[in-house]
Amino acid sequence: MKINGLIKKARWEHISCCCGKDVIDSFPIKDCLHCKFDQCWKSVPQKDFKINEFDSKGKKIGVKTVKEITLVRGDRYEEVIGWSF
């Protein structure tokens, strides 16, 4: 999978975890930017995937393999906001 918009180390990765998740496994003590942004990064597909293609009437016309996506990042922390193909 080709991922456009990759960064070696985004700004959010320099923020340390402050939620206490490493001490308490059941739930975080408070909201943590690092863990929030890490969860966003983990939602990005890392392997090719297939989607169904439909015509204008909604009839399935085939299956397409997505091999390239583009990341949408935030300005301040360079976190992943979304992705498109």
Per-residue model confidence (pLDDT) at position 25: 58
pLDDT tens per residue across all 85 residues of the chain: 999 999 999 999 998 887 765 555 555 556 788 888 999 999 999 999 999 999 999 999 999 999 999 999 999 999 999 999 9
3-state secondary structure (DSSP) of residue 80: strand
Per-residue model confidence (pLDDT) at position 3: 95
Q: Which domain holds residue 78?
A: 2-84
Per-residue model confidence (pLDDT) at position 45: 95
pTM of the predicted model, to two decimals? 0.75
- For the chain, the straight-line distance linking the first and the last C-alpha, in angstroms and rounded, comes to 11
Instruction: Count the domains in the chain.
Output: 1
Q: How far is 25 from 23, CA to CA, in rounded Å?
A: 6
